[in-house]
Structures are given as structure tokens and as C-alpha cells.
Structure 1
């Protein structure tokens, strides 16, 4: 199953946002193989890590252990930054927030033939908030 690491454990190979494929899974650890990038094919063991709630009103503390992995059959444009993908499918039924998000999505693959869109009438609206651009240019 394709998964994404949700917390950096040992950069640069075990870094937040890196995609892996689960090779084996036991109750306390998952064996994963790096799916893309310079370290593609290397295998690592991801342990369950202890987590504690920070905003609890409970009169006691509790802790649980969980794998810092999420299924990654799809990803947001922000998480796709730095990824190399064979094929990109974009759902543009909702407007893209910034030019940069669309640029990141369109440049994840090396060929325009590997980019596919879902968009009403084959178009999407380019939303630019000029107030935000003005404020950021003044800083």
C-alpha cells in the first residue's frame, strides 16, 4: 500500500511527506520501501511512536502508540511539492488558491501527456486575491 510519512524521523530518508510502499507490517513496526527520489528502493523500519494529547481537560494523562503513516493514494498540491510522479490527475472542480499551487501540480511529471484534468467545461478559474498580493509586497 502506498503511504506517506507524517513526521520526520531521520532526515533525509525518513522525512515528513516522503512516499513509501509498505512491504511488511507487524504490531509494533512497519517495513517500508522508499517509492521515489534519490533514496528510492531503500528499506526502513518505521516504529510506532508515543503520542499524547496536548489540549485535554482530563484529570489524568494518557498516551498511545501509532505508526506515523497515512495512506497516500492521492495527495494535496502542497504535499506534492518535491515529489516526482509518473502521472498527475488534477481535480479542478474547485478553484486553485494560488498560481504556485497550480504550478507545483503541473510540474510534478516530465511530460504534458501524463497530466490529466477534471474540470467543468475544460476550464478553471484563476483566483488571485489582490489584497494579499499588495500586503505581501509591502513587507
Structure 2
């Protein structure tokens, strides 16, 4: 059960909430969820090292949290679960990362952190 009240992301967990409502499936694998979240994005602040976390959200609810290690041009890393074959990768980016520590995940998974409309990602925690 989720609460409709927005949970505020703490400043030390500053990041981007990626709205993956169109690609999210309830029974998707952890790898598919990671791939749907990490790429490929246009106009992300890829050079801003202050964004530490990526929040995978569906209808504003956090499904997973990843620590962002680095940003790369889209198409740099292979995708095995998600296809971007129909997407023009010019001027698009993807992050490389890993699942965040449980101490961070437990604060946000299952909670609403963003309203799910507008941009495909939103800045949170800052």
C-alpha cells in the first residue's frame, strides 16, 4: 500500500527521479528495471556530479534506487532487456550505476516522491 503524500528526498540523496511509467511492468526483472531507468535520456544534467542517485518511479512511486557512478553517451553500454532500436541516440545520455545501499533504498522504495507528469525525469533532494 502506498501513501499519496509526497516523501521528500533528503539533500544527501540528491538525484533524478526517472518516470518510467510507460516501460514499467509489475513483474519485470531487476535487470530490465535497471535498463529502463538508466537510459536513454535527452537533456539530463549529465555533467552535474551532485546528482548521486537515480530513482526509478512509476506513477510517482519509487520502484528502485541506484547510485550513479558516471554518465556516458547513449548507446555506449549494451542493453539486453530493453530495446532502444527505434530511438535516435544523438544528444542522449545513460548512466552507469548499481543498486543503492539498503539504508537509502528503505527510505524511498514504495513511497511517492514525484508527481508523474511533464518531463521524463525530475530533480529531487536539492
TM-score range, shorter chain: under 0.3
TM-score, normalised by the number of residues in structure 1:
0.21
Q: Which has the higher contact order (CA 8 A, sep 6+)?
A: 2
Quick check: which one's helix share is greater? 1
TM-score, normalised by the number of residues in structure 2:
0.23
Greater Cα radius of gyration, structure 1 or 2? 1
